[in-house]
Amino acid sequence: MAAKNPVQLYLWHHFVLLPAALILAGYGITRYVHVAGDDDQIARLWFTVGALAVVGLGVLLMLRQHYALTLQDRICRLEVRQRYFEVSGQRFAPLEKDLSLKQILRLRLAGDAELPALAQAAAKEKLSPADIQARINDFQFDTMRV
């Protein structure tokens, strides 16, 4: 039997905020429509509930950015793997297991000529991201990262 890729859900997003915001939005808007135009506390209450639901949906939109940034981090890892393989002819995986994401992101800034030696030094010497950046002579600036 083939291994299955597990479905990954962000619990806070999928099971708390999204249902709560949708329920509040639907119910709050429906109730507010029935009392709209009245100047009493019930109308204010349902307006507040509807406003909170809109804020909740806004938070959900911001959480969507979290997914995009996570994907961007994966793409950056793949970029360093590919560049390392192209310039050294060796796989990056043995070094990658000893490097943090921040270290890998700093290695992206290194030019092709210095990438293999710098990656090996970062893994062996446990260089901090700041130390990696200090050793880079040929910067390849990234103007497209969010």
Q: If you write DSSP's letter for every residue of 109-138 in order, what string do you get?
A: TB-TTTHHHHHHHHHHHT--HHHHHHH-SS
pLDDT for residue 101: 95
Kindly report which listed range (74-83, 84-93, 120-129, 134-143) carries the lowest average pLDDT score.
134-143
Give the pLDDT confidence of 49-86 residue by residue, as tens digits. Answer: 888 888 888 878 787 788 888 889 999 999 999 999 99
Q: What are the structural domain ranges in the chain?
A: 16-135
Give the pLDDT confidence of 77-98 residue by residue, as tens digits. Answer: 999 999 999 999 999 999 999 9
Q: What does pLDDT average to over the chain?
A: 87
